[in-house]
Amino acid sequence: MKTKVKLLVMTMSIFIFMTAFGYSGSKSVTMVNVPELEKKIQQSDSKAETMHFDFSNFAAEKLPSGWSQFYTGQGGTDWKVLDDQGNKVLAQLYSDNPNGHFNVIVNDKISAKDMKLAVRLKGVTGNHDEGGGFVWRFIDKNNYYVVRANPLEDNVVMYKVENGKRTDLPLVGKGKTYGVDVPPLGTGWNTLKLVVIDDLFTVFLNGKEIFKVQDKTFTQTGKIGLWTKADAVTYFDDLKIQMK
C-alpha cells in the first residue's frame, strides 16, 4: 500500500512540474538563458550590413550616382557633391524655395524597415530655414518619415509627411511638444543618429538620446535618404546606414 502511495505522489509531482513548465509530452522543456539571449542579439546586431557614404568617391558639382532627388511642395531642388575645404560633402543648393517646400534625396537601391542611421551635418545658409536630417520608409515624394535638426531654432523635431502634409509627431512620455530644444547647434558639425525598430524611433544628437517616437503610419519597407527644408543649404557627411 505504501509503495502505491509513493508512486502516486511521485506521479502527481512529475505531472505538476511538467504542467508548470508547459510540457505537453511532445517536446522537451526549454529554459531561457537571458544573458545568452542578450549575447545572441548583440552578435546579430554586429553582423548587420552597414554602408558608409563619405562622398569622397563621387564627382564634385554633380548629383551622386545611384541617388535620386525629389521635392514636396512648390519650387525645385538641386543636390550636389561639393568640396568643403578639401573634404567632399553632399548639399542641397537650390535657393528659391518657399518656406513650405521640402527637399529630399534617397538612395535608389537601399530599402529597409528597421535600421540605424547616423550622419554629420552642419547648417551653412538659409533665410527661411537651416539644418536637415533623415528620411526613412520613403514611399514617394509625399509620403515618408523625417527627423531634422535646425540651427535657427536649436531644436530637433520628428514628422510624418503623409499625402504631402507634414505633421510633427508626439514624443513617448511627453506628448505633443514640437520635438525638443537642444543646446545651440551653431555653424559647425553635429551628429544626428536614428534607430528604427518596428514602430519605435529613437533619436540621438551628438551621442545623447534626446527622445523617442512611436508611430504606425508607415509600417512597410521604404527608401532611405536625407532632407532639408525650403532654401536651407546644409552639408552632410559620413552617412552610415545599418540595416537590421
* Same domain, yes or no: 71 and 97: yes
Residues 21-50 have pLDDT tens digits of 333 333 333 333 445 444 444 554 656 779
* Same domain, yes or no: 64 and 21: no
- Output the pLDDT for position 119: 98
- Output the pLDDT for position 183: 97
* Same domain, yes or no: 82 and 113: yes
* Same domain, yes or no: 81 and 125: yes
* Same domain, yes or no: 153 and 186: yes
* Same domain, yes or no: 40 and 55: no
pTM equals 0.81
Q: For the ranges 33-42, 123-132, 149-158, 165-174, which has the lowest average pLDDT?
A: 33-42
- Output the pLDDT for position 244: 74
* Same domain, yes or no: 38 and 150: no
* Same domain, yes or no: 41 and 110: no
| pLDDT at residue 123 is higher than 60 | yes
* Same domain, yes or no: 161 and 199: yes
DSSP-assigned letters across all residues of 168-222: EPPBTTTBSSSSEE-S--TTS-EEEEEEEETTEEEEEETTEEEEEEE--S--S-E
CATH number at residue 205: 2.60.120.560
Q: Number of structural domains, the chain?
A: 2
Residues 44-85 have pLDDT tens digits of 465 677 999 999 999 999 999 999 999 999 999 999 999 999
- Pure H helices in the chain: 2-20, 34-46
Q: Which residues contact 135 (CB under 8 A, 6 or more apart)?
A: 104, 106, 144, 145, 146, 223, 224, 225, 226, 227
Residue-range definition of the domain harbouring residue 29: 2-45
* Percentage of residues in the chain having pLDDT higher than 90: 76
- Output the pLDDT for position 48: 75
* Same domain, yes or no: 210 and 162: yes
Average pLDDT on 223-239 reads: 97
Average pLDDT on 6-29 reads: 38
* Same domain, yes or no: 68 and 177: yes
| pLDDT at residue 114 is higher than 70 | yes
Mean pLDDT of the chain: 86
* Same domain, yes or no: 98 and 188: yes
